[in-house]
Amino acid sequence: MSRKSKGINAERELIHLFWKNGWACTRVAGSGASRYPTPDIVAGNKKRFLAIECKSGKGPYQYIGLMEIGNLKKFSEIFGAEAWIGVRFNNMEWNFFRPEEMAVTKNNLMVKTDTVGKKFSELIS
């Protein structure tokens, strides 16, 4: 399975989690290739709107480019959504982070496998 299809499958898994919990959710196809700032997923439940940039992989680290973060923040501000980073390492649960909570490297934000974020149930509560 390619890295791209693995990422798409992880996004679809997250979409199903939202729908199972009473949230509307959709994947933004081509989110990384659009000339406009777009997140991977948008979700809402009448009270809250979330814009989520998703990362998945084996680990032990996941990096999110500062340009991706800037686009996520810009979209979220215009749309009126909360900006979140969703990270899923192999055989682990999703963890969610506000961009300002993540460690900054030279050109990226970084999450390690042992970094604790909000679990899905905490994110939607």
Domains of the chain: 3-123 (3.40.1350.10)
pLDDT at position 11: 92
Mean pLDDT of 16-31: 91
Q: Which two tokens stand for residue 10?
A: 């992880």
pLDDT at position 5: 62
pTM for the whole thing?
A: 0.90
Taking alpha carbons only, the member of 76, 82, 72 closest to residue 47 is 82
pLDDT at residue 1 is higher than 60? no
Among the options 2, 5, 31, 76, which is catalytic? 31
Q: Give the tens place of pLDDT for each residue, 31-87.
A: 666 788 999 999 999 999 999 999 998 878 899 999 999 999 999 999 999 999 999
Is 121 annotated as catalytic? no
pLDDT at position 31: 63
CA 50, 56, 62 angle in degrees (round to 5)? 95
> At 38, phi and psi to the nearest 5?
-140, 140
Q: Give the tens place of pLDDT for each residue, 92-125.
A: 899 999 998 888 888 899 888 888 899 999 999 9
Q: Is 72 left (phi over 0), alpha (psi -120 to 50) or beta?
A: alpha
